[in-house]
């Protein structure tokens, strides 16, 4: 049996010993990345195929008659044509909930970096600004407490609920836009419509899936509803945000700041207006990638394959 991983470098270097765990199931080949035109060539003899972001569409599936299993090394699985795989008798599995703690922590890394200005102050100390100050304290601009502010969360799944718990622990009020009823929310959490949440929250954090209904949900109309002091955080999917509208809102001072870990095109291309926009803080899609989350992802990948080969597959998405 042969197992091919198309883009292993997103998880570990291809020569990392941790990949050796897969060898109990098959002969393993790990590629750092695979251009779209080489998927069939590299996976031709594979029965088991792993991919993170390399698309496996209907054409590739039709050209891979030996394929029995596709494991997506992520929670989102839109890169695989699941219907074509089902029609071909191929099981597709994903990795749910492996990065919940990691992404929730990163939301607050972005938020605390914006509100506390730690990186800027540390840089100014390194440049001697504090040494030149006559007082024991050095201030250059204001920073703000989160306690008492309202955290607005769009989407109340694993990550959204984890963010809500952290916000509550920090003394924030929590408002949620969700399909769940108010009775399903913890005491003190308030259910709002998306529009009301954008209009009233001090921080809006996006945690919903990308669907036709949510694409571009943070658009010019909703950004215009936000307080001038408000902050938008997106660690979910880049296309949830109208990037041109957000850049305009930031550059014109209509909202205070934004913290983003995802963009519509990754890496950002020259057409993206957000790098360099006023008070826009972007990290390169790393919220999922803590040491612990990546280890958890590999652990679940191994167990997914084991369950499939035992005839009782888990985390099946098709």
Nearest CA-CA partner of 96 in 310, 308, 303: 303
Q: What is the DSSP letter of 186?
A: P
Q: Which two tokens stand for residue 121?
A: 């102050």
CA distance 170 to 172: 6
Which residues are the active-site residues? 237, 266, 285
- What's the CA angle centered on 82, arms 1 and 159, to 5 degrees? 100
What Cα–Cα distance (Å) separates residue 49 from each residue in 13, 30, 41, 316? 18, 10, 13, 14
d(CA 192, CA 299): 37
Check: CB of residue 233 under 8 Å from CB of residue 111. Answer: yes
Contact between 63 and 40 (Cβ < 8 Å) = yes
Distances (CA, A) of 180 to 172, 184, 235, 237: 21, 6, 21, 21
Q: How far apart are CA 173 and CA 167, in angstroms?
A: 7
193: helix, strand or coil: coil
């Amino acid at each position: 049996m042969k197992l091919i991983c198309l883009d292993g470098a997103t998880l570990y270097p291809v020569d990392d010993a941790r990949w050796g765990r897969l060898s109990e199931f098959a002969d393993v080949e790990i590629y750092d990345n695979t251009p779209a035109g080489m998927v069939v060539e590299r996976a031709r003899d594979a029965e088991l195929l792993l991919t993170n972001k390399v698309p496996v569409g209907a054409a590739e599936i039709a050209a891979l008659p030996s394929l029995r299993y596709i494991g997506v090394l992520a929670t989102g699985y839109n890169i695989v044509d699941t219907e074509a795989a089902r029609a071909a008798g191929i099981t597709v599995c994903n990795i749910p909930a492996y990065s919940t703690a990691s992404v929730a922590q990163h939301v607050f890394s972005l938020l605390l970096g914006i509100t506390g200005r730690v990186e800027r102050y540390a840089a100014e100390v390194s440049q001697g600004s504090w040494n030149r100050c006559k007082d024991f304290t050095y201030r250059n601009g204001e920073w703000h407490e989160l306690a008492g502010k309202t955290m607005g969360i769009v989407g109340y799944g694993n990550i959204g609920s984890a963010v809500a718990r952290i916000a509550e622990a920090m003394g924030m009020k929590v408002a949620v836009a969700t399909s769940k009823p108010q009775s399903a929310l913890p005491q003190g959490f308030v259910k709002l419509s998306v529009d009301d949440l954008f209009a009233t929250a001090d921080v809006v954090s996006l945690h919903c899936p990308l669907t036709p209904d949510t694409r571009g949900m943070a658009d010019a109309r909703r950004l215009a509803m936000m307080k001038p002091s408000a902050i938008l955080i997106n660690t979910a999917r880049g296309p949830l945000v109208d990037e041109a509208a957000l850049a305009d809102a930031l550059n014109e001072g209509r909202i205070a700041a934004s913290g983003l870990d995802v963009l519509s095109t990754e890496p950002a291309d020259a057409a993206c207006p957000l790098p360099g926009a006023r008070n826009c803080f972007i990290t390169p899609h790393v919220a999922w990638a803590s040491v612990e989350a990546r280890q958890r992802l590999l652990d679940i990948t191994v167990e997914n394959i084991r369950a499939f080969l035992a005839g009782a597959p888990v985390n099946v998405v098709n």
